Amino acid sequence: MIVTKQKKIEEILGFLGPYKKILVVGCDGCTQPPRSTREADTLALLVEMGSKVGGAAKKCSATTVVKQCDNQIVASALNPQIVGYDAILSLACGIGVQVLAEILPVPVYPAQDTMFMGSQERELGTMDERCKGCGECVLYRTAGVCPVTRCAKGLMNGPCGGCFKGKCEVTEESRDEKGNVKILTHDCAWYQIYEGLKKMNRLDLFRTYTPPKSRLISTPPRQVR
Amino acid sequence: MEAIRINQDYCGKCSFCYSVCPFEAISSGEEIKLDIDKCRVCGICYSTCPSNAIETAYYTTDWMIDAVRPSVKEGIKTAVIACRGSTLSKNEFDSVAGKKFAMLKLPCVGRVELDFFPRAAELGIDRIIIAPCEDDFCRFEVGAKIAAARAEWARALLKDTGQHQEIILLRKAIRAEVDRNKCISCGTCIAVCPYEAVNLETPGIARIDTQKCMGCGSCVAECPALAIEMRMNRWEAGKPTLLIECQWCEYDTEMPKEVQVVELPCSGAIDTLQVLKSLRSGTSRVLVAACKQEECKLEEGSKRAEKRISSLVEQLKKVGMGDAVRVVYTSPKEPILRMEVKA
């Protein structure tokens, strides 16, 4: 799913300054945490209340779309609804915002910062990056662990010297004042790849050389036909 | 007066209370003792004690008789005793009890003493409808079972003494349901449910196992698509102060008139969107009364409520309304809510 983070209300109120009537559009698709009717309604109310306190009262309504990244769905669902609105506030990822901006005649603003493609760890309540869309998947030889997103250095052939007891040296707080290693929070991707391949009895894959990734494949703008 | 206590002068040390207490709050020994920290004030011991040695501040038999007396004077001969955990409003009983009846809503019907039945018969009540929760739905583990057994016992007792009183047992429960057309398959309900009662069916639509659902309402309050429904008190903004309370955190329900009181099955069922809507349409203060986390009857309802409310408060602060919502942790053991409401 695409992981997003809601922008601060003050920021949203800032760029919505000149508009009076705003439609908040949720997305039922893959954004995580979900941004559907409840979130759209909540944001609409907060913007309304915030603008009232700020002096320039706005009117907000909320609606939601099955997925904002499909231009046909968006056109059929939103075109009849946008009559009379000055601006649209989209709760989708960056893709949804762009699709809306492209096909709708009113200005569209993002309510979220799109972070990455990732997975959700429900018990810890975290969302972790898992895919960068590099265009040449190597998961078949890395025991299902992506070195592109999960290795801080994006190494393709085994760990660097910073693998410490299975953890990565690149962490938020890796050293204290004296320079001693503090708690290492991230797992070393290559350590996990090694352990995974060992379990699968395919350590031969670990020894196979992977050539450098072709940046050509991942140079934007990309298109699939 | 304390919420519940043992009067040692009357105690016959029969230890009945010790054997019925679902929370191991009563210890037997030289002297029967009640550990108020473990007690959840269900009142099952109060109704079980044969020598009236247990005194409680809430819903005593005398109080119940006094509560039905005015209706009897109006000629009403039917009384409904319902648990607040599974009954919302009076009209749920219209079909069984007829148009006119006296209704008492108690926290757990297990606290109705056997005494109540003959005393009500004496008063002129000839039909009593006892509505406890379903056995596996009871918030106090054994309350519903005890209520049912006691109704049976009362029936036999009254028959033997030649009094004509009909006792009807009606079991109820309030559980969540998914509106299949609205579900967006996001899986939030699965993560939220403390009872592992929700599954995603093969096409990806949430399904709630009615055997496992305990009706805490957490999924209802968090479903992003508003696809989960449960019979629950809803509210329209009206009065300046709105008190949203968990129905288990306060037994004393009389509040000042200017306060709009909404009872929910658990603080975990508090819908922050509803709260926001009230704030927009004129409510200036919202007070949320929740059980302390260790006393939550529904696993982690109180914890979830705290998380949800604190993130709401964070957002409200940014729009200049941070003071509008406040959480009060309370318990029937220390009835502080009324003071907090006035403050």
Helices marked H in chain B — which ranges? 16-20, 44-48, 61-73, 94-97, 116-123, 143-160, 188-192, 218-222, 272-280, 301-318, 337-342
Given the DSSP bridges, would you call strands B228-229 and B102-106 parallel, antiparallel or unpaired?
unpaired
pLDDT number for residue A181: 62
| Residue in B closest to A47 by C-alpha | B319
B312 pLDDT band, cuts 50/70/90, is very high
pLDDT of B335 > 80? The answer is no
pLDDT number for residue B325: 93
Q: Does A122 touch chain B (CB under 8 A)?
A: yes
E strand spans, chain B: 4-6, 26-27, 33-34, 54-56, 78-83, 102-106, 127-131, 166-169, 177-178, 198-200, 206-208, 228-229, 241-246, 259-264, 285-291, 325-330
Q: Give the angle subtended at the CA of B289 by the CAs of B133 and B37, to the nearest 5°.
A: 70
Whether residue A17 lies inside any domain: the answer is yes
pLDDT tens-digit series, residues B29-43: 888 889 988 898 999
Q: Does A49 touch chain B (CB under 8 A)?
A: yes
A114 pLDDT band, cuts 50/70/90, is very high
Please check whether residues A112 and A7 belong to one and the same domain.
yes
Whether residue A202 lies inside any domain: the answer is yes
Question: Which among B188, B280, B318 has CB closest to A45?
Answer: B280
CATH number, domain with residue A25: 3.40.50.2300
Domain boundary among A116, A147, A181: A116
- A61 φ, ψ to 5°? -125, 165
Please check whether residues A111 and A144 belong to one and the same domain.
no
B237 contacts in chain A (CB < 8 Å): none
Please check whether residues A186 and A100 belong to one and the same domain.
no
Q: If residue A200 lies in a helix (H) or strand (E), which one and from where to where?
A: helix A189-200
pLDDT tens-digit series, residues A199-222: 999 999 999 898 888 888 888 899
Using DSSP's 3-state secondary structure scheme, residue A95 falls into helix
pLDDT of A174 > 60? The answer is no
Share of chain B above pLDDT 90, in %: 59
Please check whether residues A59 and A154 belong to one and the same domain.
no
Please check whether residues A153 and A78 belong to one and the same domain.
no
Mutation target vs A (from B192, B198, B286, B315; most A CBs, 10 A cutoff)? B315
The conformation of residue B2, written as its DSSP 8-state character, comes to -
Whether residue A126 lies inside any domain: the answer is no
A53 contacts in chain B (CB < 8 Å): 319-321
Please check whether residues A187 and A157 belong to one and the same domain.
yes
Q: At what angle do helices A71-78 and A94-103 cross, to 10 degrees?
A: 60
B225 contacts in chain A (CB < 8 Å): 28, 34, 36-38, 64
Range B1-27 average pLDDT: 89
Interface touch B225/A37, C-beta < 8 Å = yes
Lowest mean pLDDT among A173-187, A198-212, B226-240: A173-187
pLDDT of A50 > 60? The answer is yes
Please check whether residues A108 and A6 belong to one and the same domain.
yes
Interface touch B319/A28, C-beta < 8 Å = no
Q: Does A8 touch chain B (CB under 8 A)?
A: yes
User: Chain A closest CA to B219's CA: distance in Å?
Assistant: 12
Please check whether residues A98 and A164 belong to one and the same domain.
no
Please check whether residues A80 and A149 belong to one and the same domain.
no
Interface touch A42/B272, C-beta < 8 Å = yes
Name the average pLDDT for chain A. 90
pLDDT of B203 > 90? The answer is no
Name the average pLDDT for chain B. 90
Whether residue A215 lies inside any domain: the answer is no
> How many domains is chain A built from?
2
Q: What sign does the dihedral B265-B268-B269-B272 (CA atoms) show? A: positive
Helices marked H in A33-178 — which ranges? 37-54, 71-78, 94-103, 147-150
pLDDT tens-digit series, residues B262-284: 999 999 999 999 999 999 888 89
pLDDT number for residue A122: 83
Range B128-137 average pLDDT: 93
Q: Dmax over Cα atoms in chain A, in whole Å?
A: 68
Lowest mean pLDDT among A102-111, B91-100, B146-155: B91-100
pLDDT tens-digit series, residues A74-104: 999 999 999 999 999 999 999 999 999 999 9
- A47 φ, ψ to 5°? -65, -40
Domain boundary among A91, A116, A141: A116
Whether residue A31 lies inside any domain: the answer is yes
The conformation of residue A33, written as its DSSP 8-state character, comes to S
Question: Which among B191, B223, B319 has CB closest to A9?
Answer: B319
A48 contacts in chain B (CB < 8 Å): 280
Whether residue A127 lies inside any domain: the answer is no
pLDDT number for residue B235: 86
pLDDT of B253 > 70? The answer is no
A39 contacts in chain B (CB < 8 Å): 224
Interface touch B186/A42, C-beta < 8 Å = no
Range A148-166 average pLDDT: 91
User: How many CB atoms are located within 10 Å of the residue A225 CB?
Assistant: 2
pLDDT of B72 > 80? The answer is yes
Please check whether residues A92 and A149 belong to one and the same domain.
no
Domain that holds residue A19: 2-116
| Residue in A closest to B271 by C-alpha | A38
pLDDT tens-digit series, residues A38-48: 999 999 999 99
Instruction: Count the residues in chain B.
Output: 343
| Residue in A closest to B183 by C-alpha | A28
Please check whether residues A25 and A65 belong to one and the same domain.
yes
Question: CA B9, CA B19: separation in Å to the nearest integer?
Answer: 20
pLDDT number for residue B173: 93
Please check whether residues A10 and A104 belong to one and the same domain.
yes
Whether residue A216 lies inside any domain: the answer is no
Question: CA B198, CA B191: separation in Å to the nearest integer?
Answer: 9
Interface touch B273/A49, C-beta < 8 Å = no
pLDDT number for residue A173: 60
Domain boundary among A82, A116, A150: A116
Whether residue A199 lies inside any domain: the answer is yes
Range A189-193 average pLDDT: 96
